[in-house]
């Protein structure tokens, strides 16, 4: 089972289908609790641990992936303490960015709740070292990502403003990697790359990276000995408005989620 506040976690599911195509999946969107990034740590921890506790009891998943950077950086340890189900978190791809950066200057776009976490501080200390991690809270990118999935146009000015905020930092002009530190943001990767080069004049060599493929590989490694016999279709569940969620039915069906329900 994968949990996100909305549909950003579909970026993880897309990669998971590549490495575990036969695994049955439940995708859970806590749209009634969205956004997590503007809530306090206590609110997020209580929301995520309580919701996953109830979902684990109802659906009995073999593994849970918290496919949300904010929820993972805040609530991962708490959820692991209260559930016996294996839990995989999603954190900003600081390690791979630092390992491949040539300039040592890395940008991080995430929610306010993610970029201020001690977990991110620890990743920076361990992997960035003497390099520079420039953080910017860009929660305004979440809604364009959701709009894109609904077939609505994306406002390039919103994307440009977020990228400009990174380059306004000292050393910002030396950024050679931008970490998409929210699972929603990779949905906008093509648009961000296009805006960076053609609207802002960035070098086309700047890389936009996220951790979805690595998370999928981690899930696959934990489930490598599992046998699958799907008895029911894979499905998506929302805590929010069901009719609104059904507007994404085509996208969900493309990822093998043929049924949509409410929790």
Question: DSSP labels for 81-121?
Answer: HH--S-EE-----HHHHHHH-SSSEEEEEE-HHHHT-HHHH
Strand 235-238, strand 177-180: pairing: unpaired
Measured on CA atoms in the order 154, 157, 161, 164, is the torsion positive or negative?
Answer: positive
Residues 116/189/6/22 CA torsion (nearest 10 deg): -120
Q: Which helix (H) or strand (E) is 214 found in, with range?
A: helix 212-222
Give the span between the Cα atoms of 225 and 247, in whole angstroms.
36
Q: Are 129 and 137 in contact (CB under 8 A)?
A: no
- Residues with active-site annotation: 68, 182
């Amino acid at each position: 089972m994968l949990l996100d506040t909305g549909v950003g976690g579909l970026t993880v599911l897309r990669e998971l289908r590549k490495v575990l195509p036969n695994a049955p999946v439940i995708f859970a969107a806590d749209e009634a609790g969205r956004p997590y990034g503007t809530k306090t740590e206590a609110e997020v921890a209580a929301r995520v641990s309580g919701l996953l506790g109830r979902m684990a009891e109802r659906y009995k998943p073999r593994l849970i992936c918290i496919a949300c950077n904010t929820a993972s950086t805040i609530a991962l340890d708490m959820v692991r303490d209260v559930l016996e189900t294996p839990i995989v978190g999603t954190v900003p791809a600081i390690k791979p960015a630092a390992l491949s950066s040539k300039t040592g200057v890395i940008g991080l776009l995430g929610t306010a709740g993610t970029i201020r976490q001690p977990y991110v501080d620890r990743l920076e200390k361990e992997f960035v070292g003497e390099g520079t991690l420039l953080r910017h809270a860009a929660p305004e990118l979440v809604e364009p990502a959701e709009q894109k999935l609904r077939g609505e146009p994306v406002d390039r000015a919103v994307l440009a403003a977020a990228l400009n905020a990174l380059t306004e930092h000292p050393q910002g002009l030396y950024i050679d990697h931008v970490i998409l530190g929210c699972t929603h943001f990779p949905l906008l990767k093509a648009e961000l790359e296009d805006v960076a080069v053609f609207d802002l004049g960035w070098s086309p060599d700047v890389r936009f990276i996220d951790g979805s493929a690595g998370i999928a590989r981690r899930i696959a490694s934990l489930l490598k000995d599992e046998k699958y016999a799907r008895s029911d279709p894979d499905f998506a569940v929302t805590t929010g408005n069901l009719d609104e969620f059904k507007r994404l039915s085509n996208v969900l069906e493309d990822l093998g989620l043929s049924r949509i329900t409410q929790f």
